[in-house]
């Protein structure tokens, strides 16, 4: 596990993301500090998931660079890239568990591939990860037999299999009921506070934002860049930008507040 304190786990430096000729977001620069839960916020279509995918190398950057614990993933090749990939874990929006493998086999997959441990030891580590997300009893089930919330917890366990320093989570509470999504929030908090994992979360769920996120950037689809950065509660209470206030106070364009 990496050292922590004030230094940056992720550095985003002058980045532009988009599809081919279409720029969705430009001039993005911010740092994620070690051990914090960092939020990338914004409305639907503002490009926050695209930015997240760019951060862990699934989407090419149009401009700028991104450093993960000091290393540039886009520039890394071969074995160096393989080592870098093992230092972070990703939880996809749908969970992205392999449907033909059991829950335990899904979590074991990175361990089978990247460690020299014994069969029994890999199984034990995978079970420990499942136990951390509270799903040890379901280890032998297929992902299809689990509820959406459980699948996401398994996806978190799989992302954590190799004890990564950074965890990327794409809309962890999307499509879940309030109680389940609060459970996922609590899990992310526990992992971050308990094991010092740096988490980068894409979300637009206000309860989650105020519950787990230490610091955040707010992306705006029209401005095509970051319109606010800081602690979510500070932005809600002290921002003077009407766009920021609308986002954090759930107001419509006309200013009507929807409780």
Are 166 and 69 a contacting pair, CB within 8 Å? yes
Give the whole-angstrom CA distance, residue 65 versus residue 29.
Answer: 9
Among 27, 140, 234, 250, binds other proteins (CB under 8 A): 140
Minimum distance, C-beta of residue 76 to other proteins, in the bound complex (Å): 18
The reply to whether 141 sits near other proteins by the rule CB under 8 A is: yes
The helix (run of H) or strand (run of E) holding residue 10 is strand 8-19
The reply to whether 210 sits near other proteins by the rule CB under 8 A is: no
Tokens of 216: 């955040």
Minimum distance, C-beta of residue 252 to other proteins, in the bound complex (Å): 27
The reply to whether 99 sits near other proteins by the rule CB under 8 A is: yes
Closest CA to 40 of 247, 244, 215: 215
Q: Is 192 helix (H, G, I), strand (E, B) or coil?
A: helix
Give the whole-angstrom CA distance, residue 52 versus residue 90.
Answer: 10
Among 163, 214, 241, 251, binds other proteins (CB under 8 A): 163
The reply to whether 158 sits near other proteins by the rule CB under 8 A is: no
Among 80, 117, 186, 233, binds other proteins (CB under 8 A): 117
Paired with 194 in beta bridges are none
The reply to whether 234 sits near other proteins by the rule CB under 8 A is: no
Q: Which C-beta is closer to other proteins: that of 24 or that of 111? A: 111
Paired with 28 in beta bridges are 15
The reply to whether 102 sits near other proteins by the rule CB under 8 A is: yes
The reply to whether 132 sits near other proteins by the rule CB under 8 A is: yes
Count of residues that interact with other proteins, criterion CB under 8 A: 32
The helix (run of H) or strand (run of E) holding residue 65 is strand 63-68
Give the whole-angstrom CA distance, residue 44 versus residue 46.
Answer: 6
The reply to whether 129 sits near other proteins by the rule CB under 8 A is: yes
User: Using CB under 8 A, which residues numbered 77 to 96 contact other proteins?
Assistant: none
Give the whole-angstrom CA distance, residue 94 versus residue 13.
Answer: 29
Backbone angles phi, psi at 193, to 5 degrees: -70, -40
User: Using CB under 8 A, which residues numbered 187 to 206 contact other proteins?
Assistant: 194-196
Task: Name the site residues for other proteins (rule: CB under 8 A).
Answer: 1, 99-100, 102, 111, 114-118, 121, 124-125, 127-132, 136-142, 144, 162-163, 194-196
């Amino acid at each position: 596990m990496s050292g922590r304190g004030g230094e940056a786990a992720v550095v985003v430096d002058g980045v532009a993301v988009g599809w081919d000729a279409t720029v969705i977001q430009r001039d993005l620069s911010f740092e994620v500090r070690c051990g914090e839960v960092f939020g990338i916020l914004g409305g639907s279509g503002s490009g926050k998931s695209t930015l997240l995918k760019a951060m862990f190398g699934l989407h090419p950057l149009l401009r700028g660079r991104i450093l993960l614990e000091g290393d540039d993933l886009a520039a890394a090749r071969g074995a160096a890239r393989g080592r870098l990939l093992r230092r972070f874990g990703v939880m996809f929006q749908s969970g992205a568990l392999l449907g033909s493998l059991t829950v335990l086999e899904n979590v074991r997959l990175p361990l089978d591939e990247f460690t020299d441990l014994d069969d029994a030891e890999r199984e034990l580590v995978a079970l420990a990860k499942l136990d951390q997300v509270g799903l040890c009893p379901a280890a032998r089930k297929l992902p299809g037999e689990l509820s959406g919330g459980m699948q996401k917890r398994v996806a978190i366990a799989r992302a954590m299999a190799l004890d990564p320093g950074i965890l990327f989570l794409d809309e962890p509470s999307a499509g879940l009921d309030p109680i389940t999504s609060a459970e996922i929030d609590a899990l992310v908090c526990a992992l971050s506070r308990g094991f010092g994992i740096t988490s980068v979360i894409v979300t637009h769920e206000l309860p989650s934002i105020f519950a787990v996120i230490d610091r955040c950037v707010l992306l705006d689809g029209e401005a095509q860049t970051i319109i606010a950065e800081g602690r979510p509660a500070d932005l809600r209470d002290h921002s003077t930008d009407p766009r920021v206030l609308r986002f954090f106070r759930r107001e419509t364009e006309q200013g009507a507040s929807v409780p």
